[in-house]
Chains A and B, each alone.
Chain A
Amino acid sequence: MKRRNFLKSTAVFVAGASVSVSALDFIDPKEILAANPELRWGFLVDTHKCVGCGFCVKACKIENDIPFEANVTRTWVERYVIKKDGDVVMDCPKGARDGYTTKLID
């Protein structure tokens, strides 16, 4: 291959590649959400009805064939205690799998 030919083909390739790359339109989830502002995902828990038994966590694991002992979770349940001095302590034993079985924050 002659140097002239090589440079020519390289120039053509680079020009062609840059055009085709700019033609690709990557879809961004945020863009779609912005285009559909009425779309809202939510997960609601009535915190007064929830007693922190952790059965939702257990059932989710069983229903979806997730290893029970392995420490894997996609979501979790937390317990917050706001003390009188404004201190906030948070508790989530094993992703709440076994429920909140102690008054201690662990």
Chain B
Amino acid sequence: MKSHVWRPLYVVIAIVIGILLFRAFYVPSDFGAQERGYTFGYHRLSNEQEWKDYPAKYKGNDYCNECHDDKIEELESAHHATIPCENCHGAAFDHPDNPEKLAIDRSRELCIRCHSELIMPSSDRNDIPGIDPAEHNKGEECSECHNPHNPSLEDM
């Protein structure tokens, strides 16, 4: 066979060898099948720390408690104790540095996520005090009457 047929073949072989070499050096040794079999996932044992160091946007109540322990105390003594701060106050990100102030969601839509009365029997959801959003003080923000940290009107 003439060399013009072989030449591209050499190029292809060189590319394949190049890719195999690159792969051998670049792909971590623990990538692929493990004894637990997570071949097709992103989970690699050696980069667990990398993911632990990856900043999460939601920091959790303990993070809020570092400064706002008075608010946490108020919240935890009332019916909304189970709700994480960041559900209404928004994800903390790097608060108080960035953002300096969190945008609080005081909207009626947020409250009726849980407090819209469902007439069908369902989960423990039916034990939560519920209102009909179409009837109950339509158009007003819930927080005008209810303190979100301690929403029971009797306690106010």
Contact = CB atoms under 8 A, between A and B. Distances in A.
A100 B33 contact: no
A18 interface: no
B56 A63 contact: yes
Given A55-B113, A99-B114, A32 B33 contact: yes
Contact of B122 (A49, A62, A63, A79): A79
5 contacts: A5-B1, A50-B125, A51-B114, A63-B57, A101-B109
A101 B114 CA distance: 7
B137 to A, nearest CB: 16
Interface of B: 1-2, 33, 35-37, 39-40, 56-58, 86-87, 91, 109, 112-114, 116-120, 122-125, 128, 132-133
A81 B87 CA distance: 27
A29 interface: yes
Contacts of A27: 33, 39
Nearest to B108: A101
Interface of A: 1, 5, 9, 27, 29, 32-33, 35-36, 39, 47-55, 59, 62-63, 79, 81, 98-103
Contacts of A50: 123, 125
Contacts, number: 74
A1 B91 contact: no
Contacts of B123: 47-52
Contacts of B113: 52-55, 98-101
A51 B124 contact: yes
A48 to B, nearest CB: 5
Nearest to A83: B120
Q: B58, B118, B124, B128: which has the most chain A beta carbons within 10 Å? A: B118
B125 A51 contact: yes
B133 A101 contact: yes
Given A32-B33, A62-B57, A101-B109, 16 more contacts: A1-B2, A29-B39, A32-B39, A50-B123, A50-B125, A51-B123, A52-B125, A53-B113, A55-B87, A59-B91, A63-B91, A79-B122, A98-B109, A99-B113, A102-B116, A103-B116
